[in-house]
Each structure stands twice: as C-alpha cells, then as structure tokens.
Amino acid sequence: MQAAVDERTAIQAAIRQGLSNDEFQLYYQPQVDQNGTLVGAEALIRWRHPSKGLVTPDFFIELAEETGQIVQIGTWALDVACKQLKAWESDSNHSRLYVSVNVSARQFHQPNFVDEVLRIVEINGANPHRLKLELTETVVLDNVDTVISRMKHLNGVGIEFALDDFGTGYSSLSYLKRLPLTEVKIDRSFVNDVIADASDAAIVQAILAMSQTLGLGVIAEGVETREQYDFLVKHGCQKFQGYLFGKPMEIDGLSRIAIPFGIKL
C-alpha cells in the first residue's frame, strides 16, 4: 500500500514538472468524411516522460482527474489546439479543418470554464467555428441545466460539441434531445465487432438512425478495416476515425496529408 502511495505521489510531482518543462505534446488523429477527405482531427495528449519515453494518457489521466491537475492539462491542450487552428489559417490545404479537444468533467465544471475557453480562443486568434469540444456522459450526468447553459453560451460564438463514447452509458437517451450537440461519436467497442456481432451491428444501426432523426452528425471511432467502413457508409455514417485512416500523429505528419485523403477507399 505504501509503495502504491509513493508511486502516485511521484507521478503527481512528475506531472507538475512535465507541465513546467513542456514535456506534454498534442498528437492528432485524422477524421475523414465518406469520400476519405480529411475534415478535421482529434487532439490527443501524449507525455514525453524523461525516463519512460512517450506515454499515453492511460498512464496519468485518471490520477490527474483525481488530483485536479486535469484542469491545468486540459487548459494547456486547448491552448495548443487553438494555436494550431490559427497556424492553419494561412495554409490552403488545412484552413477548413477543425480540431476536436476532449474536455474532462472536472474541467467543464470549473466555475470559470466558459470564460477560460473564450479567453484562450481570443488570445490565440483562433476561429471558434473550427473548434469542437468533446464531452463524455460523465460531464452531463449532474446538473444538466447548468451544462446546457454553458454549452449554449459557447455555441453562441460558434464552438460545437460532440458526445464521445456514445452508446456506452445508461442514460444517453434521457438527455440527448436536450443537449445542444452537433455530433455523437460511436464508441469503438461497437465498431470493432460490427461485422461479426449482430448485436453490435444493430446498436450501430440504431444510433445512426436515431441521430439522423435528431439532426445530429455521427462519427465512428476505431475504424480499422474496409469492411467496417463499408458497413458504416451503407447505414449512413458521415465521418470516420481510426487506424484505417491514420494513427494519432505529430502535427507535421498530419500537415503532410493531402486532400483528398491519401487512402484509396
């Protein structure tokens, strides 16, 4: 037990040091439309740890959420993403792209969350219409009215919202119609077995049909095979993200992707 406590304390201190030493980095995973055209990217945090090398969020996000450090990490990620949006404005191949940034429950429920987002967008000169914030169901389970109010405030300047990991929670349908969402993301756990498992196929089809009725866009996560892509297109999915189109990559790699997207679908 003491070893576990010591390890948590060490990671917590390393996170503080990592933020101070610019050890964190955003990777970007491509998001494409039905034609395979690059339309945007999800910003994903990586940490170049001085001894462990490049580590994924699984190593530190849960602890950062518990300790509150996730707020500082989330603010940093939003700032870097907005800087990238501004940089793309002068690039004809990427000026129309959007960036999706994940927002944790703890970050979203900070009293100054809306003001902080607006401040970061303004100081970086980023186009808010190119920024999309991804929320999970845990963000909206409590105090739905406050959540909706904050979302609408940010909607008012052009910032859009996507509901991440859709289908994995138990209460999605109860509030889906109330939230000012633009898009839902089908969780990769359903996409992974959509060809082999009739239940997953039925769930995916139901999500697509419901979203169409509600006027919501849909993006499928974890698309890795042509068969999965063909199934999703057949049933009306509009956007896709997964290894079939590209792994999370540094910004230089994403900037080299041609439009239309390089993969031959």
Amino acid at 261: F
pLDDT along the chain (265 residues), means of 10: 67 79 92 91 91 80 86 96 95 90 94 97 98 90 87 97 80 76 93 94 93 93 95 95 93 70 48
CA distance 186 to 204: 7
Tokens of 45: 């945090």
Q: Which domains does the chain have, with CATH numbers?
A: 2-255 (3.20.20.450)
> Is-cis flag, bond preceding 30, omega within 30?
no
Distance separating the N- and C-terminal Cα atoms of the chain: 52
Contact indicator for 132, 40 with CB cutoff of 8 Å: yes
What's the pLDDT at 265?
45
Interaxial angle between packed helices 226-234 and 198-214, expressed in degrees from 0 to 180 and rounded to the nearest 10: 40
